[in-house]
Amino acid sequence: MDKSKSQIVEFLSRHGAKLALGFVIVLVLFVRVRLRETPLERDEGEYAYAGQLMLEGIPPYKLAYNMKLPGTYAAYALIMAVFGQTDSGIHIGLALVNLATIVMIYFMGRRVLDATAGGAAALAYGLLSTSSAFLGLAGHATHFVVFCAMAGVLLLLKARETEKPALFFASGVMFGGAFLMKQHGVFFGVFGLGYVLWQNLVKAEKNWQRCWREFGFLLGGLMLPFVITCAVLAAFGVFKPFWFWTFTYAKEYAGAISFDQLPAILRAALESSVGLNAIFWVLAAVGAVMMWWEKRLRAALPFVTGFALAGILALCAGMYFRHHYFILLLPVVALLNGVVVSRALFLIRNEKSVELFLALGGLVLYGLAVLVAIAMHGEEWFSATPVKVSESTYHYNLFSETRRLAMDLRAESPGNARVVVVGSEPQIYFYSHRHSASGYIYTYALMEAHPYAVKMQDEMIHEIETARPEYAVYVSDPTSWAQREDSEKKIFQWWEAYWGEHYELLRSIPVMRERVSGQNLRDPSAPNQNTGIIMVLKRKDVVAAPKKSAQ
């Protein structure tokens, strides 16, 4: 190896990891801060509204029903308590969560393999988790699952090194937090328990006493967040709706996808989610192969295999394969990219001539993956406005429109006014700072084919009629209902009669979308089409409040 080549390799070996980590931290922070005012999408609106209610002392599942566990609600409440109840404050908090996760992935890679792997993994994860292919700019629960899971992993590795029971317990608490953020996170806790059993009963000489001590502390920590959550919700009197939505209904939702639908759903998800970042996924596959035949990496094989299995199971839970579910798999994808880079530099340093070309190829592919990711997201990350980013990411959804609508509603209604949104736009409640007249902040569940659909429609109707909200927003748009051919139509028939009798129309907002369907999707010259309408209504017996600035 000539002197200049040796110096380059030596420099990369010594400083490359920290440079990669520093670069991705600066890049991700810049992008997320620049786009901090991006309108909240539905999931963010749900979390923000539930968090807003928590800051007012109102527990989850009282004024907002959903099948998700309440961990992300609490995370949003904490973020908003620090950074304010705005989309900007939420996205600043998300940026810090994302950056902390990137740093933890660096330390995981360094501990499991070496600093080179850690730096390459951190860079890959930072780029992937900010990609619109995974809806990475939005504050989805999966970001918080990964944050807690990574903290649990690092604590577990440290606990195995020191054998301190407190660290096993703390690791379990973080894995329990991952589960509370979203049910899919349970698989990372299962991974932690399995890893303890492997280390004590398979890898090393069997030590049953140590095994059950470590396993017990980890399991105790894992269960604690959920037990405390159940106790708190029971104390607030909302345990029954909590259990129904997060377990009874969630079971129906998770079982709604049939196996004959699975290939088409998975194919569509892979095409739209992986495409922009395909090279990273190819390198992850190469890294997985390397783990099995490279002796230097074999010691890390059980950990990486178990961690990968946890991510795959978390992704596949329910078989919906939403874009942001892939975030659950990104840590192991990033780590396997780190394996390739680490192995490549090792080969170059040691002049393994037979494999040298493969090593150089791995480095070139990794560098290309980084450059392609930045180039493909260039307009979005560096020049597009937050509203444009929202519209280009979510296409036919109504997030910028509903933000403007909610701010107007906040300005023209008294602070104690009740609002009902007949549709699935929970962000309206958050932006307007008005309480929901019905807990059904989404109407998707009312349209699904399950035994509770009719009961849910009856309950929503009853809640609206009982609360008699001063204001109503009716969203007539496919993206807000996901109506099926076999959906129960009762709520539409009821609403048509109810609003005409009790409400007056303040204004209507046509929903205009470009290239809506069919051939229009492939025809850039196709005209905008009206796909629906948003109606803002005021109850007829309500005296109009003097219009004021939003407060």
By CB atoms closer than 10 A (0-12, 13-18, 19+), residue 328 is: buried
My answer on whether 405 and 274 are in the same domain is no
My answer on whether 441 and 487 are in the same domain is yes
Residue ranges making up the domain that contains 408: 395-539
Identify the domain boundary among 312, 347, 382.
382
My answer on whether 371 and 441 are in the same domain is no
Position 296 pLDDT exceeds 80: no
Q: Is the residue at 1 inside a domain?
A: no
Identify the domain boundary among 382, 416, 433.
382
Q: Is the residue at 550 inside a domain?
A: no
My answer on whether 326 and 401 are in the same domain is no
My answer on whether 270 and 403 are in the same domain is no
C-alpha span between 548 and 525 (Å, rounded) = 41
Q: Is the residue at 26 inside a domain?
A: yes
For 371, residues 6+ apart whose C-beta sits below 8 A from its C-beta are none
My answer on whether 432 and 365 are in the same domain is no
Query: 434 near 471, Cβ under 8 Å?
Result: yes
C-alpha span between 324 and 327 (Å, rounded) = 6
For 445, residues 6+ apart whose C-beta sits below 8 A from its C-beta are 67, 249, 253, 452, 453, 456
Per-residue model confidence (pLDDT) at position 502? 96
By CB atoms closer than 10 A (0-12, 13-18, 19+), residue 265 is: middle
Q: Is the residue at 447 inside a domain?
A: yes
My answer on whether 306 and 249 are in the same domain is yes
Q: Is the dihedral of CA 310, 313, 315, 318 positive or negative?
A: negative
> How many CA atoms does the CB half-sphere of 259 hold within 13 Å?
0
The 10s digit of each residue's pLDDT in 403-434 is 999 999 999 999 999 999 999 999 999 999 99
Q: Is the residue at 508 inside a domain?
A: yes
My answer on whether 400 and 363 are in the same domain is no
Please enumerate, as own/partner, the contacts of 323-326 that have beta carbons within 8 Å and a separation of 24 or more: 323/133, 323/134, 323/135, 323/269, 323/272, 323/273, 324/43, 324/134, 324/135, 324/136, 324/138, 324/140, 324/142, 325/142, 325/184, 326/133, 326/134, 326/269, 326/273, 326/274
Q: Give me the mean pLDDT over the 346-365 stretch.
A: 79
Q: Give me the mean pLDDT over the 173-197 stretch.
A: 98
Amino acid at 206: K
My answer on whether 285 and 180 are in the same domain is yes
Q: Give me the mean pLDDT over the 299-304 stretch.
A: 91
The 10s digit of each residue's pLDDT in 487-544 is 999 999 999 999 999 999 999 998 866 533 333 333 334 444 556 899 999 999 876 5
Report residue 1's pLDDT band, with 50, 70 and 90 as the boundaries. Answer: low
Per-residue model confidence (pLDDT) at position 292? 84
Identify the domain boundary among 382, 410, 442.
382
Tokens of 294: 């490279």
C-alpha span between 438 and 421 (Å, rounded) = 8
**How many distinct structural domains can be found in the chain?**
2
My answer on whether 368 and 434 are in the same domain is no
Report residue 348's pLDDT band, with 50, 70 and 90 as the boundaries. Answer: confident
My answer on whether 373 and 483 are in the same domain is no
DSSP state, residue 519: G
Q: Is the residue at 549 inside a domain?
A: no
Query: 418 near 434, Cβ under 8 Å?
Result: yes
Q: Is the residue at 201 inside a domain?
A: yes
pTM: 0.93
Mean per-residue pLDDT over the chain, rounded:
91
My answer on whether 341 and 420 are in the same domain is no
The gap from C-alpha 222 to its chain's centroid, in whole angstroms, comes to: 21
Per-residue model confidence (pLDDT) at position 518? 37
Position 352 pLDDT exceeds 60: no
Q: Is the residue at 2 inside a domain?
A: no
